[in-house]
Structure 1
């Protein structure tokens, strides 16, 4: 058990969530020898990429991210075609609230050539009477819902089809550099005493990243330049559709009210297609890392979301019929991290908005890990000052 496996890989990707699966797929499709190590199983339920419901949207106040969504959508379409399954279900999206700035978002979409409408609150209420809009509303019909678990499994399957191997139940405890020089390679050590050798390593560990960072052979200057990562145990609640407001009539939404930032989307198979998934953005407790999650819903958070549904979503029964927790790994300005020191690449598509970019993040990470291309500067050690959501 303690000896290295006899067949090391050119590239080892740690973590089979959306970002790690996408990176493994992109590397394998380019002909590289790839091994994907996962502490549990791909799209594990105690990580960030499980389930059937993540928002896909174009509306960002920063044109950089809107253009990145366009670039990502082209890759999503190619992925769905190659996998032979639908990965994004169209529902459209509404954005509203005193601090959501629908007019600003509309201007960004207009500049990118993305179809949208800017509606008054009354116009929006007549179209979606199940929602009590309190400001003007941005509607863009190209938005939808990503099936995260199916997407992860599709990318893993395509990586394997291109020669990658997947090892599950393999928890990376530390990474050791072998010798000196950029071509020296690495040895990964598991919690069970196993080892695995690789020429290049990509760490995409999600909420486990903060605890793992100190166990990586990264230069002190590189570590000092990284943003601070915080992990939240978020909670989401499913509320049944009232009669007359079936799931097909509901858009996804982001609402920045005066006292809460909430989002919602059709819950899909996660809760029997019976209701809308609603959550408070960054409303869960801070935890040191994913290893410290309890899986317990905070009663105060539940009460805030129930109160929100009672006030703003008359088309839902305000009593949740299902609830869950998930992980948000955040940076201070909500930009991602895709950075590299020697042959070790760290990937963290953070802050609750990374799912829609998964194929593009895989492309960026593969470009950086192989030296094929650069990634946007904002994802390296110097971060952008502007919030993105």
Structure 2
């Protein structure tokens, strides 16, 4: 990102979200960190879910692209923004709303579901490729790509489950209903070259949050979704050996673990841990090979809906939460940067999110150079994507 070229004295010092239209860059008056408006286009723009990688190098290798969704008259479309120049490019044009958030950085393609079919689009040429069509009566999705970018991973659900979703479109309405229904779900892979769909695990449970390991092409993580204090949530399975493995065992009543994600080297799974729910807060990491678990304690106000880890795996970010969330934090509406300090995390506030409505989750990402944290927010009255610099500005 090239905002360093701007004279710091020319950047206004403002309360984040205090203006209906914020400038392209400002310094948060409460944190002294610089924030930039990363996407300069009309309409709503949305960055990816926290554990879905949106980044890849530019074709010439001199910069970094980030893939994001933007609203258009033809439904949501996928775009790229050059993090060095802010140059935007629309890469999909097929009408209809797309779902997927899957970037293949090696093959330089994005994958998404449009209606009942899965497509890929070349990020550089914008050429579309058909991958797979779900047959009549088979309701499925794809949400992850394996490490060698040969397989997509997703789920197949029943018509009964889809009907519950159709009748209860709000999460607050469908969440307990889906969990209590205990309907059959299957984890699946789709071979990108052949279009072959393979069911590899089936259970009468709400299987969700599917993620392939970033380094092991056969390791798949999924969760038992539902009220977190009622489920053993985090599981891994080798798609060839097919033996599920529970990653965290709960030890007390109402203990919860969730919003799991892989470390960049694929060696650990990190997750939000509360023992019990809403009382004691940790960011925990489980070594996949050894089973060793480490825990970093957090204060109530520091709890975040989602956490993420820096590219060098030394620090963490969090997107905070409002008082309605599980932590019931009185002062938790911040974007945070966390640094391990013994068995705890030392926090630094980066962005005051008091004007943000947390019905939209910010979903933090570190930039690939580790210097910025990227998040989505609605404090201007629409959804857009911003970046906050980790280095503090002297004011």
TM-score, structure 1 normalization: 0.25
TM-score, structure 2 normalization: 0.25
Higher-RCO chain (CA-CA 8 Å, sequence separation at least 6): 1
Larger helix fraction of residues: 1
